[in-house]
Amino acid sequence: MATKPPAGDPVQDAPQVAPPQHAAAGLPAIAHTLKIAQQQMGVARTARTLLKVNQKDGFDCPGCAWPEGDKRHTAEFCENGAKAVAEEATLRRVTPDFFAAHPLADLATRSGYWLGQQGRITEPMLLERGALPEGADRYQAIPWERAFEIIAEELNALGSPDEALFYTSGRTSNEAAFLFQLFAREFGTNNLPDCSNMCHESSGSALNETIGVGKGSVSLEDLHQADLIIVAGQNPGTNHPRMLSALEKAKSAGAKIISVNPLPEAGMERFKNPQTPLGMLKGTALNDLFLQIRIGGDQALFRLLNKLVIETAGATDEAFIREHTHGYEEFAAAAKEADWDETLTATGLTRPEIERALAMILASERTIVCWAMGLTQHKHAVATIREVVNLLLLRGAIGRPGAGVCPVRGHSNVQGDRTMGIFERPAPAFLDALDREFRITSPRAHGYDVVRSIQALRDGKAKVLFAMGGNFVGATPDTEVTEAAIRNASLTVHVSTKLNRSHAVTGRRALILPTLGRTDKDVQASGKQFVTVEDSMGMVHSSRGNLTPASPHLLSEPAIVARMARAVLGAASATPWEEFEKDYAAIRDRISRVIPGFEDFNARVARPGGFQLPHAPRDERRFPTKTGKANFTAAPVEYPRVPAGRLLLQTLRSHDQYNTTIYGLDDRYRGITGGRRVVMVNPEDAAELGLADGSYTDLVSEWKDGVERCAPGFRVVHYPTARGCAAAYYPETNVLVPLDSTADTSNTPASKSVVVRFEPA
Ligand SMILES: Nc1nc2c(c(=O)[nH]1)N[C@H]1C(S)=C(S)[C@@H](COP(=O)(O)OP(=O)(O)OC[C@H]3O[C@@H](n4cnc5c(=O)[nH]c(N)nc54)[C@H](O)[C@@H]3O)O[C@H]1N2
Ligand SMILES: Nc1nc2c(c(=O)[nH]1)N[C@H]1C(S)=C(S)[C@@H](COP(=O)(O)OP(=O)(O)OC[C@H]3O[C@@H](n4cnc5c(=O)[nH]c(N)nc54)[C@H](O)[C@@H]3O)O[C@H]1N2
Ligand SMILES: [Mo]
């Protein structure tokens, strides 16, 4: 089978491998940042732009959702934040001439890396498949009015509003998200799938049920005050680099850190803080204990730890359990059953390692557990996160300083989008408030999440996909199934800054609507606008771009929604869409009347640094669950069983990518350069499977539907991952993740546990 990148793609994927590194950031990070930034933006724009990232009068970094501290350094950016900015502020342009030279058939052969490197899209474009002779289909520029007419034509021709899907990726501002969900509900559907469905949905499901609020319960200050921080299933050195400063600060105040991960991630080993001279030289060792767990073993680990805590005299916070929790007895009975041998099998850890972790937990008065995709993307993800909550409840470690749950979010406003009502299963109270404010009747039936949206397209139950940002085709699982489903659509629309796979695999008609990014100046009829975002810790603040937009034809996301709503809903809508487009303060006024916690929004967000949203468990130890208490839960312990001759593959991020946006072909900390088609395998497993380092293999995923999904041509890299496990990059491996391999309850694709077989070339 082919080992080559897609035909016609000049980018060569030829990975080179060196030993992994043991420290993150430092000088190489700054050098690499400036190189990428200057390639995209030139020297002057690099300086002007990077100085405004995350400053109180600047724009919110489009990188990740990690919060900004109160005292900001002049260059409050990190390597990967700077790359995200450079990617958006690039001087390269994708004009109508580009599309004339690259028909759809050509775009479809290009890698995501190549597509993204072409630059910012400058004009609205339309493609009608089959309108031109075979192979000649291409996007052509159209006026904005025509684009909205087409959307109206297609949406209004549907048999039911539920045949339309309105997807959101997590960069969308609060203002745009609020308008987008309002439009979808006035149109008549709750089909509002979002990237969260593939990301922290499992965290939201688990936290809502157990503590009553689907968000983290700690602030940055809490992290600084914690005396034990457990980082499970997360790689902050690459994906949340500014978190390393917080860990360093906690550490310098005496905190201990445990990391739970199948991979030894460089950022957790040693952090060389680029903001301090000593940090640059020596750095700080972060991990006190590294638990190299087998993929999917976390629920078993936490269950055993919980049993041991319960069995240690005086180790549980009895007063807290009595006053604030529900279900302790049932949980304690279930925890009693936890078994050492089974836990050692599930986790691949040793008894002394788990005993050390226990001793550190027992010695801690203020424990925080942080996690990300390593916990959320498994079949038993929700049960795993509930088990983490059980530990914190046993220790009374919620709702007091320095302690709590910390799901570290991905996209910079993914949490805010959810707060604004981007959710396919909205709470009735939210819809009631929306209906009162706008005198509408929102639909009550639940809509489709991401996986169900793909199934609906596949089955002909959905016909229009409108995506507010993101890369629906590239980010979702089961690439071949998903691409076929998308081609079934009558219309696909993408509001985008840059090209990606979703523009190359389309419905019968396809629109690209080019939009402003975070770094761009946004001027409307009432003057210069700002937007707002919510970070991972519930802080809401403003973001204003300062760059001249990539082209005079770009519209902001709120303007696109407002104009689409007028075209689609016409006189049937009494909502003042035109006013909203003119002045975003008018949108914020409405948000303040619909969404609790946003009272007096315009005034409060004007304060430098913004404001914090209320969080009942954190603020008042109040748990708005069905029982009115924090719930212990006792799901049966699960862990993946892998047949002989197979490994469990996790699909993860390299250091040079932002989800499906590929910045470069290097994964510096893991020692891999010049290519992405690599599979990391433990040397002992590799020896058993006959996989020599440097040899090539196809990856075949085995699933109960009997379909063999294949990703060809991966270079084997012997790597110190846990036994029985393998790792390869997303999105190249999405083809291996079966559409119906999802987490119980949250329906999140189980992209961190794919059973694979190797077929050496
Ligand atoms: N530069 C950059 N920043 C980003 C992103 C990006 O792509 N690039 N993406 C953003 C987004 S949307 C998100 S959601 C976050 C993602 O942030 P992360 O969750 O850190 O991203 P992943 O690369 O998916 O890494 C998952 C980590 O979990 C570990 N892991 C895998 N399986 C298991 C398991 O079963 N148990 C345990 N304990 N660990 C496991 C992996 O080894 C890896 O260290 O980052 C955000 N920030
Ligand atoms: N196998 C596997 N699959 C995964 C994951 C995994 O770990 N493994 N992770 C999952 C996770 S955590 C997530 S969050 C999803 C990500 O899913 P998405 O959020 O859909 O994907 P992104 O790659 O972040 O989207 C990138 C595109 O967003 C557009 N864009 C960038 N900035 C803006 C903007 O300001 N406005 C607009 N309108 N568009 C913009 C650009 O066109 C760019 O190409 O992927 C999921 N898929
Ligand atoms: Mo994410």
Residue to probe by mutation, ligand 1, list 87, 476, 653, most atoms within 8 Å of CB: 653
Strand spans (E) along 10-89 = 16-17, 24-25
User: How far, in Å, from the CA of 708 to the mean position of ligand 3?
Assistant: 27
Kindly give the number of the ligand 1 atom that is closest to the alpha carbon of 721.
42
Closest protein CA for atom 40 of ligand 2: 469
Q: What phi, psi does 205 have (nearest 5°)?
A: -60, -50
Residue to probe by mutation, ligand 2, list 168, 171, 409, 482, most atoms within 8 Å of CB: 171
Bond from prior residue into 731 cis (ω within 30 degrees of 0): yes
Q: How confident is the model at residue 50 (pLDDT cuts 50, 70, 90)?
A: confident
With CA atoms as reference, report the closest residue to 753 among 301, 435, 294, 261. 294
For residue 256, give the H/E element and its range: strand 256-260
- Mean pLDDT (whole number) for 573-582: 98
Q: How far apart are CA 523 and CA 268, in angstroms?
A: 42
User: What is the structure's pLDDT at 67?
Assistant: 85
498 lines ligand 2 (CB under 6 A): yes
238 lines ligand 1 (CB under 6 A): yes
659 lines ligand 2 (CB under 6 A): yes
Q: Around Cβ 85, how many Cβ atoms within 10 Å?
A: 29
Distance set, CA 393 to CA 298, 325, 431, 511, 617 (Å): 17, 8, 32, 49, 11
The mean pLDDT value of the chain amounts to: 94
User: How far, in Å, from the CA of 743 to the mean position of ligand 3?
Assistant: 15
748 lines ligand 2 (CB under 6 A): no
Q: SS in 3 state form for 366-399?
A: CEEEEECHHHHCCCCHHHHHHHHHHHHHHCCCCC
Is 679 in contact with 728 (CB distance < 8 Å)? Answer: yes
Amino acid letter, residue 604: R
Residues with CB in 5 Å of ion ligand 3: 199, 410
657 lines ligand 1 (CB under 6 A): yes
User: How far, in Å, from the CA of 701 to the mean position of ligand 2?
Assistant: 23
Residue 440, sorted as left (phi over 0), alpha (psi -120 to 50) or beta, turns out to be: beta
Residue to probe by mutation, ligand 1, list 32, 64, 298, most atoms within 8 Å of CB: 64
Q: How far apart are CA 183 and CA 202, in angstroms?
A: 27
Q: How confident is the model at residue 4 (pLDDT cuts 50, 70, 90)?
A: very low
Kindly give the number of the ligand 2 atom that is closest to the alpha carbon of 116.
44
Is 587 in contact with 561 (CB distance < 8 Å)? Answer: no
List pLDDT tens digits, range 529-574: 999 999 999 999 999 999 999 999 999 999 999 999 999 999 999 9
Q: How far apart are CA 326 and CA 654, in angstroms?
A: 41
112 lines ligand 2 (CB under 6 A): no
User: How far, in Å, from the CA of 752 to the mean position of ligand 1?
Assistant: 10
Q: Is the pLDDT of residue 477 over 90?
A: yes
Relative to beta strand 657-658, strand 708-718 is unpaired
User: What is the structure's pLDDT at 196?
Assistant: 98
List pLDDT tens digits, range 131-173: 999 889 999 999 999 999 999 999 999 999 999 999 999 999 9
Residue to probe by mutation, ligand 2, list 117, 118, 198, most atoms within 8 Å of CB: 198
652 lines ligand 1 (CB under 6 A): yes
Cα dihedral 543, 547, 550, 555 in deg (nearest 10) = 40
Q: How distant is the alpha carbon of residue 552 from its chain centre?
A: 30
Distance set, CA 749 to CA 21, 293, 433 (Å): 30, 21, 32
Is 696 in contact with 728 (CB distance < 8 Å)? Answer: no
Q: Around Cβ 227, how many Cβ atoms within 10 Å?
A: 18
List pLDDT tens digits, range 355-410: 999 999 999 999 999 999 999 999 999 999 999 999 999 999 999 999 999 999 99
660 lines ligand 2 (CB under 6 A): yes
**Cα atoms found within 13 Å of the Cα of residue 75, Cβ hemisphere only:** 16
631 lines ligand 2 (CB under 6 A): no
Relative to beta strand 539-543, strand 284-285 is unpaired
Residue to probe by mutation, ligand 2, list 377, 660, 735, most atoms within 8 Å of CB: 660
List pLDDT tens digits, range 640-693: 999 999 999 999 999 999 999 999 999 999 999 999 999 999 999 999 999 999
User: What is the structure's pLDDT at 9?
Assistant: 57
Distance set, CA 67 to CA 61, 197, 453, 541 (Å): 10, 22, 32, 10
Q: How far apart are CA 34 and CA 723, in angstroms?
A: 38
Q: How far apart are CA 306 and CA 310, in angstroms?
A: 6
545 lines ligand 1 (CB under 6 A): no
Q: How distant is the alpha carbon of residue 207 from its chain centre?
A: 17
113 lines ligand 2 (CB under 6 A): no
User: How far, in Å, from the CA of 383 to the mean position of ligand 2?
Assistant: 26
469 lines ligand 2 (CB under 6 A): yes
410 lines ligand 1 (CB under 6 A): yes
User: What is the structure's pLDDT at 75?
Assistant: 47
Q: How confident is the model at residue 269 (pLDDT cuts 50, 70, 90)?
A: confident
Q: What is the CA radius of gyration of the chain?
A: 25
User: What is the structure's pLDDT at 281?
Assistant: 67
Q: Exposed, middle or buried by CB within 10 Å (0-12, 13-18, 19+), for 315?
A: middle
Closest protein CA for atom 13 of ligand 1: 410
User: How far, in Å, from the CA of 408 to the mean position of ligand 3?
Assistant: 9
